[in-house]
Chain A
């Protein structure tokens, strides 16, 4: 039991802090508790020695700009330090940080389109390969910013941040190959920030069922395991300071699935009510946006783009009607057509892989179909009628639901033989 009273300790601390007394003075005045008082005051003095912690250079300036951009706009809060420069540049180009969100999105889109027109679509494609320090890197980040602005909160945005973490990691690999270790040191916090943002947006994600939750967790684990492995490989050839940063980044990647597992839940929140879930909607939005971004791709025929877009729209409408099987079937058809376009050389590998990953995300977020007995009267799924018998909103043909995925080559063959290939008209 302490013999030093709280008041005595408080007054001595205050006197010492004000310079009116020293520890020795206080102890001398209270010899009956001298030893204990001396220890507590020494500890208090040690606590008072303020550590020299300062934010890194530029943090306050970037943070201020980001804060202003956020609080003067109606959109949800964001902190994306690695994009703040772009945001400010865009804002200054378009007049005001206080532009409404839609206006800002439109402005960004207009800027990207302007650059595409000015430099040609090739510049945008080339920007994807840009590294920090390259002239096109800002364009690459502007494109990412646009995607983030158009994405919906929570799951969709968490996924997008993870994808951008992948992008940063791939940049780190290329910087390592060029022995640009200082640039790696600068980029590592940006990679970690993407993971932190993904974690933040995973805050209140609700899934329609445990199956969907587990599927998403499995995707997350696989993705982060791959990132960890890449970081571990990079550590092997890196100087000590970079290796430490890589180890910290790997630890962060390792911790993320546990956080998601804890927070992601099967919920009854509005996010999982019937009809289009925000997650599905957001995934489909992303697919549409990505397709729209291919408008300038001379490889992809315009008709194919419209056809792919129509399938996304049909999937969306099916989800809104609560017809999950039809939605999945439309997404199957989308995938088939995508593969066909890729095989025919109409899609670049990177675009194909990206659209495929978005497709997989969308499939994972489609709510599970209601059991036949629970289906609403009149619902096409009431008697487990094969969804293919429904006429999709677009009037396009579709792949039967539940059809097993075949390797691209075999699928092509089946398409030809069965007359159910993408774009086939009865």
Chain B
């Protein structure tokens, strides 16, 4: 009954999938979606703090990626890094357009997924306070911190994704951590 074409023995090799997607193979792109959607969602949710926006922007990210996939150069940076830069821009764009910042406070229904009590207990930093501080960083610092620590990309991958040199990424990371430390310290002092 359903005549939707099934993937033809799709290779799990990401470069191969990307190549096929670049040639217009939607099924190959759908496999890339399956592989990366959870990471994209997590990244976007970290930015936006609510399910509706995170789902919307995640979908938007993949649609934009599909349209622009011809511009992605295989071998330069991981596909996920490229996707996350699109996701970052889409999330930042939504925040910029929306005046009501309270919309991006982490929604109460999401806190059970947000907090990891065990890790939280080991850390002296409140995770929601850290998130607030990260979102107040300069855009390049914000992006580097999230790609490095949330997404665990290495310096070379981040550098390739952002079109910068590795040395630049290390400097940006250093400034970002120093700034975060300052912000979090002042938040603690204000309490």
| Any B CB within 8 A of the CB of A81 | yes
- Find A46's partner among B97, B99, B123 (CB 8 Å cutoff): B123
CB of A425 within 8 A of chain B?
no
> Bound state CA distance, A49 and B59, in angstroms?
26
Q: A192 vs B99: C-alpha distance in the bound complex, in angstroms?
A: 17
Q: Closest Cβ of chain B: how far from A168's Cβ, in Å?
A: 13
Let me know if B52 and A192 touch, CB within 8 A. Answer: yes
A251–B100 CB distance below 8 A: yes
Do residues B149 and A47 form an inter-chain contact, with CB atoms below 8 A?
yes
Task: Specify the main secondary structure of chain A where it touches its partner.
Answer: helix
Partner of A263, one of B66, B97, B134: B97
Checking A42, A51, A53 against B124 with a beta-carbon cut-off of 8 angstroms, the contacting residue is A42
Size category of the binding interface on chain B: 35 or more
A262 to B99, CA, bound (A): 9
**Count, chain A residues at interface, CB 8 A:** 63
A10-B97 contact, Cβ under 8 Å, with A48-B149, A71-B66, A196-B52: no
B56 touches A196 (CB 8 A): yes
A5 / chain B contacts, CB cutoff of 8 Å: 174
Q: In the complex, what distance in Å separates the CA atom of A64 from the CA atom of B66?
A: 13
CA distance A114 to B81 in the complex (A): 48
Determine if B1 and A92 form an interchain contact, defined as CB atoms under 8 angstroms apart.
Answer: yes
The contact of B100 among A52, A245, A254, by CB within 8 Å, is A254
Given known A63-B37, A96-B3, A193-B56, contact A10–B173 (CB-CB < 8 A): yes
> Contact mask A24-68 → B, CB, 8 Å, 1/0?
000000000000000110111111111111111001100110111
Q: Are B41 and A55 in contact (CB under 8 A)?
A: yes
Q: Which of B42, B110, B173, B178 has the largest number of chain A CB atoms within 10 A? A: B178
Which 8 residue pairs across A and B have the least CB separation, nearest first? A47-B149, A6-B174, A49-B119, A255-B100, A79-B59, A10-B170, A92-B2, A46-B123
6 other A-B residue contacts (CB within 8 Å) besides A2-B174, A14-B155: A6-B174, A10-B155, A47-B145, A51-B42, A67-B30, A67-B66
Residues of B within 8 A of A (CB): 1-4, 26-27, 29-30, 33-34, 37-38, 41-42, 45-46, 50-56, 58-60, 62-63, 66, 97-100, 102-103, 107-110, 113-116, 119-120, 122-125, 127, 130, 134, 145, 148-150, 152, 154-155, 167, 170-171, 173-175, 177-178, 180-181, 184
